[in-house]
Amino acid sequence: MKSALSIMRIQSVSGSLVVSVAIFSLGGHCTSIFDPGHYREEDIIRKGIAVIGGGASRTYAAITLGDMGKDVVLVERASRLGGHENSYTDPATGINVDYGVQAYYNISVTRDFFARFDIPIVNYTFGEGSTIFADFSTGQPLPDFTPGENLSSYVQQLAKYPDLTWSWDLQNPIPEELLLPFRQFIEECSVEDAAFLIFDSTEGVANPPFLDQLTANVFKWVDQGYINGLSVGGDVTTAQHNNGELYSKAQDELGSNVLLDSTVVAAYRPYSDSGVILAVSTPSGFKLILALQLLVSIPLVIPNMTPFDLDDREHDLFKRWHYSAYYTGLFNNTGLQDGYRYVNVGINTTYHIPELPGAYAINPTAVSGLHYYWYGSPVEVSQCDIEAQMTAVIRHLTNSTDQTPEFVAFESHTPFKLEVSAEDIQDRFYDKLYALQGYRNTWYTGAAMMSHNSGELWNFTAALLPGIIDAL
């Protein structure tokens, strides 16, 4: 997309970096947001690589590139690194609660990254205790419901597409069964008994509803890595049950090379190999980043990507995404029994899969009386509305008219699970997306490129870094 602003170009030389500086003119008034001459020297950041976003893949990239001797700056809009990793420390007991990312795929890149910070890890267990299945919209229990756990038929079909675990490298032409609505796959492959378990494994996937999802998207979510994680030793977590420790240590090590509470407001990305320029809003004012290469690891939706000077090719791809809304929170004073997991089911729905928007489950924590919940929706929902709905759920489950929980933490993981239509997949969308790697000195990692599995993302990012380094 061409800017509506008129553009002039000047040249700026910084060490080995030669970049064309854009000066925008609007209504006869010229701004110089990309001109180093209009910044204090201490507000100009010259680096080999700029990384945008501070979640799992971008934190891994920044640390690993630093270990390789590369100069990196990381820009993160939140006040801490971690992305979907959400941790809370109970002030009364000092006990930490992970209420976002729970575990990590147990592969070498995961073990090596935790070892890099001397963080011991242990096998992740799903916890002990009983599960209560109930319709959260009414509180009515479903006492005789036992979700099937036999995934053998599903795994047999999944095994036909081994590349889906590590990429979006699909056969050409794309097999028709991958583009079926998942409800049709369930019937044709006789996996009805495991339908609820698969639904429960796709938390956050709500747009379209689970049974209307493309089979390819379900395979990408409940992939072989996820199946492996269901076995003992398949997933790991920190020995202290504090997944935030990884990101705290990474943040400390990166030090001044992390710009927190900061966002890119404008970018100039030339078609030559002359680098990129980013204008960044920070708590201490605007900074100008001059970098040779750019690594983007934020959700690739148009509102996020508009400041990055998109051209028609990029805009045409990024506009095709649709996504789900996904939230997590912590509350106490619920009146619920400690040690019980409450799972939302539909009393009269297909496979007892609940209708969304709504909560998936309410889980106990190591802190007595403190529970966390996950909430999904096909459209974005405000924190106020979600907490009002969760209050109603608590009253249904406790058969009370006045039980009022205290909400102590809330995080949005929206936009979640970026997807495209069957028509776009048939049109080789993911081939076109991957072809953007290196285009205009820009590279991409993160969930949109791969999955929401941190271990798989680290593996994907590790494979991407040599190309970025070669382009310096």
pLDDT in tens, 96-131: 999 999 999 999 999 999 999 999 999 988 666 799
- Report the distance separating Cα 471 and Cα 379, nearest Å: 39
Per-state percent for the chain, helix, strand, coil, to nearest 5: 30, 25, 40
> What is residue 333's predicted lDDT score, i.e. its pLDDT?
97
pLDDT in tens, 415-453: 999 999 999 999 999 999 999 999 999 999 999 999 888
> What is residue 125's predicted lDDT score, i.e. its pLDDT?
82
**Predicted confidence (pLDDT) at residue 215 exceeds the cutoff of 90:** yes
Task: Name the 3-class secondary structure at 184.
Answer: helix
Q: What separation in angstroms does the CA of 235 have from each of 43, 123, 181, 226, 308? A: 43, 6, 29, 9, 36
Write phi, then psi, for 8 (nearest 5 degrees): -115, 155
- Report the distance separating Cα 297 and Cα 300, nearest Å: 8
Peptide bond into 307 cis (omega under 30): no
Mean pLDDT for the chain?
Answer: 91
- Domains of the chain (ranges; CATH) run 6-83+247-311+424-471 (3.50.50.60), 87-235+322-414 (3.90.660)
> What is residue 31's predicted lDDT score, i.e. its pLDDT?
54
What are the strands, taking DSSP E only, across 333-429?
340-344, 358-364, 371-377, 406-412, 416-419
> What is residue 290's predicted lDDT score, i.e. its pLDDT?
97
**Predicted confidence (pLDDT) at residue 387 exceeds the cutoff of 50:** yes
**Predicted confidence (pLDDT) at residue 6 exceeds the cutoff of 70:** no
pLDDT in tens, 122-166: 998 866 679 999 999 999 999 999 999 999 999 999 999 998 888
Is the Cβ–Cβ distance between 365 and 371 less than 8 Å?
yes
> What is residue 233's predicted lDDT score, i.e. its pLDDT?
73
Peptide bond into 415 cis (omega under 30): yes
End-to-end CA distance of the chain: 26
> What is residue 38's predicted lDDT score, i.e. its pLDDT?
87
What is the Rg, in whole angstroms, of the alpha carbon atoms belonging to the chain? 23
Q: Indicate the range of 102-106, 202-206, 317-321, 367-371 predicted with least confidence.
A: 102-106
> What is residue 452's predicted lDDT score, i.e. its pLDDT?
87
Angle (CA) 471 53 433, round 5°: 55
Q: Indicate the range of 3-17, 34-48, 184-198 predicted with least confidence.
A: 3-17
Strand partners for 325: 377
pLDDT in tens, 240-267: 889 999 999 999 999 999 999 999 999 9
> What is residue 10's predicted lDDT score, i.e. its pLDDT?
34
> What is residue 274's predicted lDDT score, i.e. its pLDDT?
86
